[in-house]
Amino acid sequence: MPIVNRVADLQPDIQAWRRVIHENPELLYDVHRTAAFVADRLREFGCDEVATGLGRTGVVGVIKGKQQPGKGEIKVIGLRADMDALPIEEQTNLPHASKISGKMHACGHDGHTAMLLGAARYLAETRNFAGDAVVIFQPAEEGGAGAAAMIQDGLMDRFGIEQVYGMHNGPGIPVGCFAIRPGPVMAATDSIDIKIEGLGGHAARPNKCIDSVLVGSQLITALQSIVSRTIDPLESAVVSICEFHAGNARNVIPHTAELRGTVRTLTPEVRETVEKRVHEVCEGVAKMTGAKIDLTYERGYPVTKNHAEQTDFATQVAKEVAGAQNVHEMPPLMGAEDFSYMLEARPGAFIFCGNGDSAGLHHPAYDFNDEAIVYGTSYWIKLVENRLAAS
């Protein structure tokens, strides 16, 4: 069976919600308006419970199926969408473009929220399942670890969630197609902040100075040897130093310099190794140059790791919605996702839903593709109806 027929009827409403959310983007935990919109809709649909304020501004809706689950069957699954936007100036010139300068839904979280609302409406109408479907709307996916905040607020235990599923739109994946893989699907992301203190002075007397620019350059080069010379070539890791700040005159050797960058890895072992090597490289370059090097290495989101059984199951559901030929196994991405915290707390799977030939995520010309709504929404519905199958 392809997309759920009723979803085609609901599409105009879901699209309208999506565009309202798109016009009013909010950042990180400050998603009050979006969260209120979501909570209002969930109450309208007749959810059995609507909880707000989890992880500060997260919203949860509980929809009970017509039947009780049998003994030993899965009783409760969680479906998660994210609500936050990005600090980007939108350049789409669309009628529903952001009304708020400097903020935009450039990652499609507007679409994720609207599709999960659509599924909630359908599930509350039909209730053709046994057990509880818990719809989760989180704040602060974009760097604020909103998923972790909701878990700390008791998300999993309070609602008895046994398995959890997530979805992201995928630019470059045709509309009507899905992509998924078992195991690591998105990277862990860590941040590197380096402060170099050399000895400033006259550009013509370098022998009296410790040149913080040269120290920074040596650091960058040495850091690049970590991936190429300590990580197994069959494993994946990225070390990117993306900021280098130093100096403000052509004839002054600057006293200090600062570097900032990011580390991406797909396994805990590689993550451990890269972190250790970054420390060692900093210590080594400090010794070699006589500069003082202060490293702050901070761990961010963990690896988003799909669980095998739930990934198989999600793949079957996607095939049912989109056709077997339209569901593909994908390579892992080196971007990061805070759904990783939910997959550390409970088994589950994260899937990509085709957004067609749109601009890339986090690009000022990006827009969520409303043509994808029927596929994403049908996936959520079928996921609930198959996993919590009524007898």
Residues that bind Ni ion (CB under 5 A): 107
CB of 187 to Ni ion, least distance (A): 14
Choice between 127 and 181, CB closer to Ni ion? 181
The first and second tokens of residue 263, run together, are 């580390």
CB of 142 to Ni ion, least distance (A): 7
Taking CA atoms, 190 is separated from 170, 309, 380, in Å, by 23, 29, 31
Choice between 107 and 167, CB closer to Ni ion? 107
Q: What is the DSSP string of 126-148?
A: H--SBSEEEEEEES-TTTS-HHH
Nearest to 244 by CA among 218, 205, 282, 209: 218
β-partners of residue 350 are 166
| Whole-number Å distance between alpha carbons of 368 and 361 | 9
Three-state DSSP class for residue 355: coil
By beta-carbon distance, which residue lies closest to Ni ion? 107
In the block, residue with structure tokens 């300590």? 230
Three-state DSSP class for residue 324: helix
Could you give phi then psi for residue 129, rounded to 5 degrees?
-160, 170
CB 103 within 8 A of CB 27: yes
The first and second tokens of residue 260, run together, are 């900032």
The first and second tokens of residue 37, run together, are 């919109």
In the block, residue with structure tokens 């704040």? 139
Choice between 45 and 301, CB closer to Ni ion? 301
Choice between 198 and 302, CB closer to Ni ion? 302
Nearest to 353 by CA among 335, 334, 379, 332: 379
Taking CA atoms, 372 is separated from 62, 74, 274, in Å, by 25, 29, 38
CB 218 within 8 A of CB 257: no
Choice between 168 and 181, CB closer to Ni ion? 168
Choice between 69 and 354, CB closer to Ni ion? 354
Choice between 198 and 354, CB closer to Ni ion? 354
CB of 135 to Ni ion, least distance (A): 18
Choice between 28 and 107, CB closer to Ni ion? 107
CB of 272 to Ni ion, least distance (A): 27
Choice between 19 and 112, CB closer to Ni ion? 112
Nearest to 350 by CA among 384, 314, 319: 314
The first and second tokens of residue 154, run together, are 């008791």
CB of 167 to Ni ion, least distance (A): 10
CB of 333 to Ni ion, least distance (A): 11
CB of 264 to Ni ion, least distance (A): 16
CB of 236 to Ni ion, least distance (A): 20
Instruction: Write the burial class of residue 359 (CB in 10 Å: 0-12 exposed, 13-18 middle, 19+ buried).
Output: middle
CB of 366 to Ni ion, least distance (A): 10
